[in-house]
Homo-oligomer: A and B are copies of this chain.
Amino acid sequence: MSDVSDKTDTTGKRMGLGRRELLALGAGFTLGGISPPAAAAIEPWRQPQPETGEPASPPRVAMLVYPKMVLLDLVGPLTVMNLLPAEVHLVWKDKSPVSTDVGLPVTASTTFAECPENLDVLLVPGGISGTVQCMNDLEVITFLSQRGASTKYVTSVCTGSLVLAAAGLLKGYRATSHWAVADLLPLMGARPARGRVVRDRNRITGGGVTAGLDFGLVLAALLKGEEEARRIQLTLEYSPAPPYRNGTPEEAGPERTAEVKRRRRALDEQARVAAEAARDRLGL
């Protein structure tokens, strides 16, 4: 990243906006993946907010980024968490840009090794074949299963739940996924549940792609209360009005569903093979 318009943070990898910008969007501050000591040095307002009695530390959120992910799965929850505000770390093995479905690369702010231990949220977004690769990647699986054991909320959007399940994190939990692959969850010990956002104890899983917004608001309410979630919903004017009632197989009907499944067949078969390998690895 040699040439960055506007501001850049000390690492040059991600860019934050000024406090005035963030206030305008309803946020108090953001750390944008800067580790706390550096942030304290450059963000002197990161102090308890006397007028509201807000605690000094925002929720600490790690979101996995990986090659061949679906960008919208990430940007929905990321936008909500940014307005909360949360301290968000985009985590991956390294800080090389990774590809996304829409051709815009994303760069991790934090490596697995740098990722803080005491997370409030661990989120795995969904993807295309990158999701299958993560299910089969022991470095990814090991990172998730270690952090998942000590994180307050272990979460996913879309096919990200397949990766959580492959890491053994959904064994015995109710969970959802993109409708086209939700039938793979029980192979890895999860109890499949239909629902836009499914919570079972500290596991929170969202449905396909666009469920990331509903998921993000549910998470915001858990972290900072209903009023904060409502403020963010109004800021984002989230009063959806889809042109058709066609977002689920039930709504779309069998013919349209078969057509979408047909186009996804090769990918969904790869996911099944990976789920079966994970089942064997987990001894299920």
Contacts and interface: CB of A to CB of B under 8 A. Distances in A.
A4 B96 contact: yes
A241 B259 contact: no
A105 B241 contact: no
B240 A213 contact: yes
Contacts of A263: 23-26
Given A24-B267, A234-B247, A248-B234, A101 B128 contact: no
Nearest to A209: B236
- The oligomer's copy count stands at 2
Interface string A158-179: 1000000000000000000011
Interface string A10-37: 0000111100110111100010110000
Contact of A242 (B67, B79, B233): B233
B236 A217 contact: no
Nearest to A213: B210
Nearest to A7: B99
Contacts of A256: 227, 230-231, 234
Interface residues of A, number: 96
Contact of A217 (B1, B71, B88, B243): B243
Interface of A: 1-7, 9, 14-17, 20-21, 23-26, 30, 32-33, 67-68, 70-72, 75-76, 78-79, 82, 88, 90, 96-107, 109, 128-129, 158, 178-179, 196-197, 207-211, 213-214, 217-218, 221, 226-227, 229-231, 233-249, 251-252, 256-257, 259-260, 263-264, 266-268
